[in-house]
C-alpha cells in the first residue's frame, strides 16, 4: 500500500474535486426549453385556444354553481362518507367476528366491482323503478298489520325514492358508498402497518380494544392512510363529473360543456374546465401536505409545532 | 367483592400469593411451549425467570396478563382467576371489558419498549390514567411528571420516543406502567434490546422499584440483577420449571445439569464481552453479571 502513496510528508487537506460531468442533462434541458418555447408560441399565435373566452366561461354563474355544488360539495360529501365508511369496513374486516368479516368482504367485493358510472346511473333511474317509495318501520310490519287487521301498519317514515334519486345527495351517497370500498382497503393496509406491540402495550395498560384502536392504532395508521387518501380525494374531484349520470346537472363539466356547445366555443370550454380541475387539485395538494405533517408527529425526527425540545434541556449550554 | 376478600385473606394469613399459577400449559400450533408450570409469587417479592431462549419464560409472562391465552391449568392474580369466571363448576370466558379491567392492575414492560411513537414521553405516561381511569388531565400530568422524575427523566417530558435513547425509552415505558398504580409489574427481557452501556440505567430503576416493595416478575438474562435483587430465581427449560429457589441456591449451587450448563454458557458469553461489562460497570455500581 505504501508504494502507491505519494512521497509528500504533508497530510491531505480539504477536498476540492471536480464534479462528474453530466452532458446529457444539458441536452435534455435544451430539448425541453425548445418544446416549451414552441408551446408558448402556439398559445400566443393560435387564436383557437381562446384563453380570454375560457376565462369568461370559468366565471359564468352556472359553471361556478356546478363547481361549488357538484365538484366541491360532491367531493367533500362523498369523501366524508367514503373515509368514515371505509374505516368502519376495514375494522370489520379485521374483527374476530366472522359475521362482520363476511359482511365487509361482500361489501368491498360488490362496490369495488361495479363502475361508478353504472352505479350512479342505476341509483338515478333503477332504484326508483324497483321501489317507488321506501317505508321505514317494523320489518314485515305491513304484512303483519294486514294479517291481524290493524289500522296502523308500523310505518314511521316514508321516502319518495323517485324524487330523491335524482338529487345531488343521492349522487353523493352513491359516490361515497363506492369510495368506502376503496378506502376500506387503504385503511386496512394502514391498520396492519402499525406494529402489533402497540396494540399489546395499549391492552396491557387496561385499554379496551376500541380505546386501543381509537387512541393508539388509528392515529399511527393515519400516517400510512393519508397519502393514498389524498390520491383518492383528487380522483374523487374528477369522478364528480360522473354525477351527470344521475342525472345531476349542477356539475362542473356538464355546465361548461353546455356553454361550449351552445356558443360553439368547444375548445375554450375544455380549457376552462381543465383549469378549474387543476386549481382544485392544487389546493388539495397543499392540504395533504399539512395533514401528512400532522400525522407524521414523532416519526420525522424533528418536532412539528413545539420548538422547546429542538434543543433538549439536558444538553446544557449548547 | 373478591378483591376485598383476597386482600383480607392476605393480611390475616399473609401466605396467599399475589400470583399463583398451577399446572399452566400452552401450545402454539401443536407445539407445546408450557408444560405444566407452577409458580407462587408473594407480595413484595421479586422473581426472576431465567432460561435459554425458547424455554417458554416470555410466553408464561404474557399469559399472566392475557396477551396469550392458556390451554390448561389456572392462574390467579390477587385471588382473581385470570381470564375466566367459574360458575357452578364451569369456566366461562371473560369478555373484552372484564379482561381489560383485570389488566389495569398489572404493569407490563416490553423488550422492545412499545412506547406510543406519536405521543411525547409525558403523553405516553398519562394516556392510560386519562383514558382508562378517567383521571383529570391536570392531575395526571402532575403525577406523570413525578413518575418521569422518578425514572430520571424529569427533563424529557416533551420528547418523542424517537428522540430518546433506548435506555431512556425503556425508563419512560416503566413510568407509563407505574402510572396505573399496578400491584404487579411484569418485565419481559427489559434490557435485551439495549446497547450494553444503557443497561445499567434501566436496571437501576428496576432495583429502586424492588427496594420500594413492588412485586415483580422479571424475565431476564442479567445474572447480576437476578443474584442481587431477586427473592426467588426460577430456571425454565423446554416449557418446564427445572429448578427454583433463592438466587444463592440456583445460581450458586445449581442441582440440575441443565441449569449448570446454562449458567456455564452465560458465563462464557460474559468472558467474551468483558469490554461491555467495563462500560456497564462505569455507568452503574453493581449490575455486572456474575
pLDDT at position B152 over 70:
yes
Nearest chain A residue to B120, by CA: A298
Q: What is the mean pLDDT of residues A101-105?
A: 96
Q: What is the mean pLDDT of residues B79-90?
A: 92
SS3 of chain B: helix, strand, coil, percent, to 5:
45, 25, 35
Give B111: exposed, middle or buried? Use CB within 10 Å, 0-12, 13-18, 19+: middle
Flag if B119 and A298 touch (Cβ within 8 Å).
yes
Q: What is the mean pLDDT of chain B?
A: 89
Tell whether the model's pLDDT for residue B14 goes beyond 70.
no
Which pLDDT belongs to residue A317? 35
**Residue A135 and residue A38 in contact, taking contact as beta carbons nearer than 8 Å:** no
Q: Nearest-CA residue of chain A relative to B160?
A: A298
> For residue B256, what are the CA distances in angstroms to A43, A285, B235, B241?
91, 67, 10, 11
Tell me which residue has cell 449451587: B253
Q: What is the pLDDT of residues A177-236, one digit of tens each?
A: 999 999 999 999 999 999 999 999 999 999 999 999 999 999 999 989 999 999 999 999
And the C-alpha cell for B219?
424475565
Over 50: is that where the pLDDT of B285 sits?
no
Q: Which residue has the higher pLDDT, A270 or A149?
A: A270
Q: How far apart are CA B62 and CA B174, in angstroms?
A: 17
pLDDT of residue B289: 46
C-alpha cell at B123: 403523553
Most A-contacting residue of B93, B110, B118, B128 (CB-CB within 10 A), to test interface: B118
Closest CA to B169 of B197, B202, B145, B143: B202
**By the 8 A CB rule, do B61 and B186 touch?**
yes
DSSP-derived 3-state class of residue A154: coil
- What CATH superfamily classification does A72-246 receive? MetI-like (1.10.3720.10)
What are the Cα distances from residue A201, in Å, to A71, A204, A217, B115?
A: 43, 5, 11, 8
- Is the CB of B106 less than 8 angstroms away from the CB of A204? yes
Q: Looking at the complex, does the CB of residue A172 fall below 8 Å from at least one CB of chain B?
A: no
* Three cell numbers written together for A312: 433538549
Per-residue CA distances from A246 to A114, A259, A277 (Å): 15, 20, 21
Least confident among A235-249, B205-219, B260-274 = B260-274
Question: How does residue A305 score in pLDDT terms, banded at 50, 70 and 90?
Answer: very low
Q: What is the pLDDT of residues A78-100, one digit of tens each?
A: 999 999 999 999 999 999 899 99
d(CA B246, CA B70): 27
Q: What is the pLDDT of residue A107?
A: 96
pLDDT confidence of residue A186: 96
Is B96 within 8 Å of A209 when comparing Cβ atoms? Answer: yes
Q: Compare CB distances from A299 to B103, B105, B162 and report the shortest one's residue.
A: B162
> What's the pTM?
0.79
Q: What is the mean pLDDT of residues B89-102?
A: 93
Rounded Cα distance between B70 and B37, Å, is: 11
pLDDT of residue A121: 92
Quote the CA–CA distance of B102 and B145 in Å, as a whole number: 26
Alpha-carbon distances of B116 from A296, B124, B161, rounded to whole Å = 13, 6, 7
pLDDT of residue B276: 54
With 50 as the cut, is the pLDDT of residue A1 above it? no
- Locate B175 and state its grid cell: 413510568
Q: What is the DSSP letter of A116?
A: H
**DSSP element (H, E) containing B73:** strand B72-77
Average pLDDT over residues A157-180: 88
pLDDT tens digits, residue range A9-20? 788 889 999 999
B interface residues, A as partner, C-beta within 8 Å: 65, 67, 96-97, 100-101, 103-108, 110, 112, 114-120, 127-128, 131-132, 155-156, 158-163, 173, 176-177, 180
Which of A97, A204, A223 is best to mutate for the B interface (most B CBs within 10 A)? A204
Q: Could you tell me the three cell numbers for B102?
A: 383485570
pLDDT of residue A66: 93
Of A271 and A47, the structure prediction assigns the larger pLDDT to A271
| pLDDT score of B16 | 84
- Average pLDDT on B136-149 reads 96
Question: Looking up cell 305491513, which residue turns up?
Answer: A142
Cβ contact, residue pair A216, B177, below 8 Å: no
Q: Using the predicted structure, report yes or no on whether residue B156 has a pLDDT greater than 80.
A: yes
> Which of the pair, B82 or B3, is modelled with greater confidence?
B82
Q: Which residue in chain A has the smallest CA separation from B61?
A: A204
Nearest CA among A191, A207, A200, A221 for reference residue B111: A200
pLDDT cut 90: percent of chain B above it: 83
- Total Cβ atoms within 10 A of residue B140: 21
pLDDT band at A8 (very low <50, low <70, confident <90, very high): low
Q: Report whether B115 contacts B173 (CB < 8 A).
A: yes
Q: How far apart are CA B9 and CA B115, in angstroms?
A: 37
From A119-133, A196-210, B105-119, B222-236, the region with the lowest mean pLDDT: A119-133
Q: Looking at CA atoms only, how far is residue A194 from chain B in angstroms?
A: 11
Confidence of residue A172 (pLDDT cuts 50, 70, 90): very high
What is the predicted ipTM? Answer: 0.86
Which of B83, B114, B135 to mutate to probe the A interface, most A CBs <10 Å? B114
Mean per-residue pLDDT of chain A = 87
| DSSP collapsed to 3 states, A34-62 | HHHHHHHHHHHHCHHHCHHHHHHHHCCHH
Pairing of strands B84-87, B90-93: antiparallel
pLDDT at B278: 53
What chain A residue is nearest to B161 in terms of C-alpha separation?
Answer: A298
Residues in chain B, total? 290
Distance from CA of B98 to the nearest CA of A (A): 9
Task: Quote the pLDDT of residue B5.
Answer: 45
pLDDT interval class at B281 (50, 70, 90): low
Say whether residue A306 is in contact with chain B using an 8 A CB cutoff. Answer: yes
With a cut of 80, say whether residue B55 has pLDDT above it: yes
Amino acid at each position: 500500500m505504501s508504494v502507491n502513496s505519494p512521497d509528500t510528508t504533508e497530510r491531505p487537506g480539504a477536498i476540492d474535486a471536480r464534479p462528474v460531468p453530466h452532458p446529457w442533462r444539458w441536452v435534455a434541458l435544451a430539448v425541453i426549453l425548445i418544446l416549451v418555447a414552441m408551446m408558448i408560441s402556439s398559445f400566443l399565435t393560435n387564436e383557437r385556444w381562446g384563453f380570454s373566452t375560457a376565462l369568461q366561461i370559468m366565471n359564468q354563474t352556472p359553471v361556478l354553481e356546478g363547481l361549488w355544488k357538484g365538484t366541491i360539495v360532491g367531493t367533500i360529501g362523498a369523501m366524508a362518507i367514503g373515509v368514515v365508511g371505509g374505516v368502519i369496513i376495514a375494522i370489520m374486516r379485521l374483527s374476530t367476528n366472522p359475521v362482520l368479516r363476511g359482511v365487509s368482504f361482500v361489501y368491498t367485493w360488490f362496490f369495488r366491482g361495479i363502475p361508478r358510472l353504472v352505479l350512479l346511473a342505476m341509483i338515478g333511474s333503477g332504484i326508483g323503478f324497483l321501489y317507488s317509495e321506501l317505508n321505514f318501520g317494523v320489518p314485515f310490519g305491513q304484512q303483519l298489520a294486514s294479517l291481524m287487521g290493524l289500522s296502523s301498519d308500523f310505518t314511521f317514515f316514508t321516502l319518495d325514492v323517485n324524487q330523491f334519486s335524482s338529487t345531488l345527495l343521492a349522487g353523493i351517497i352513491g359516490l361515497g358508498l363506492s369510495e368506502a370500498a376503496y378506502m376500506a382497503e387503504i385503511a386496512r393496509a394502514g391498520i396492519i402497518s402499525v406494529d402489533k406491540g402497540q396494540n399489546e402495550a395499549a391492552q396491557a395498560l387496561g385499554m379496551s380494544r376500541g380505546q386501543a384502536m381509537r387512541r393508539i392504532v388509528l392515529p399511527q395508521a393515519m400516517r400510512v392512510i393519508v397519502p393514498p387518501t389524498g390520491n383518492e380525494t383528487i380522483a374523487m374531484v374528477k369522478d364528480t363529473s360522473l354525477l351527470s349520470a344521475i342525472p345531476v346537472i349542477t356539475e362542473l363539466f356538464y355546465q361548461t360543456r353546455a356553454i361550449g356547445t351552445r356558443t360553439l366555443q368547444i375548445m375554450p370550454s375544455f380549457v376552462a374546465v381543465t383549469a378549474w380541475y387543476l386549481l382544485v387539485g392544487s389546493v388539495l395538494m397543499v392540504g395533504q401536505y399539512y395533514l401528512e405533517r400532522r400525522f407524521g408527529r414523532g416519526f420525522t425526527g424533528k418536532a412539528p409545532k413545539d420548538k422547546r425540545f429542538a434543543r433538549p434541556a439536558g444538553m446544557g449550554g449548547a | 367483592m373478591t378483591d376485598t376478600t383476597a386482600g383480607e385473606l392476605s393480611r390475616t394469613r399473609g401466605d396467599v400469593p399475589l400470583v399463583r399459577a398451577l399446572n399452566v400449559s400452552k401450545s402454539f400450533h401443536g407445539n407445546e411451549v408450557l408444560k405444566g408450570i407452577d409458580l407462587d409469587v408473594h407480595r413484595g417479592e421479586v422473581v426472576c425467570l431465567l432460561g435459554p431462549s425458547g424455554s417458554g419464560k416470555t410466553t408464561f409472562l404474557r399469559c399472566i396478563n392475557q396477551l396469550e391465552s392458556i390451554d390448561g391449568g389456572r392462574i390467579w392474580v390477587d385471588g382473581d382467576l385470570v381470564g375466566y369466571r367459574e360458575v357452578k363448576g364451569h369456566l366461562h370466558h371473560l369478555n373484552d371489558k372484564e379482561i381489560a379491567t383485570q389488566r389495569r392492575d398489572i404493569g407490563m414492560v416490553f423488550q422492545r419498549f412499545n412506547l406510543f411513537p406519536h405521543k411525547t414521553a409525558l403523553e405516553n405516561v398519562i394516556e392510560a390514567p386519562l383514558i382508562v381511569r378517567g383521571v383529570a388531565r391536570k392531575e395526571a400530568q402532575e403525577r406523570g411528571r413525578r413518575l418521569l422524575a422518578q425514572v430520571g427523566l424529569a427533563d424529557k417530558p416533551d420528547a418523542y420516543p424517537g428522540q430518546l435513547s433506548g435506555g431512556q425509552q425503556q425508563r419512560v415505558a416503566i413510568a407509563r406502567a407505574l402510572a396505573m398504580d399496578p400491584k404487579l409489574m411484569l418485565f419481559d427481557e427489559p434490557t435485551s434490546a439495549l446497547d450494553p452501556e444503557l443497561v445499567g440505567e434501566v436496571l437501576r430503576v428496576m432495583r429502586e422499584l424492588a427496594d420500594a416493595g413492588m412485586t415483580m416478575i422479571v424475565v431476564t438474562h442479567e445474572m447480576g440483577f437476578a443474584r442481587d435483587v431477586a427473592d426467588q430465581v426460577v430456571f425454565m427449560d423446554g416449557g418446564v420449571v427445572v429448578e427454583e429457589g433463592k438466587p444463592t441456591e440456583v445460581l450458586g449451587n445449581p442441582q440440575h445439569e441443565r441449569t449448570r450448563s446454562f449458567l456455564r454458557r452465560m458465563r462464557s458469553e460474559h468472558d467474551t464481552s468483558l469490554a461491555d461489562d467495563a462500560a456497564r460497570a462505569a455507568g452503574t455500581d453493581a449490575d455486572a453479571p456474575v
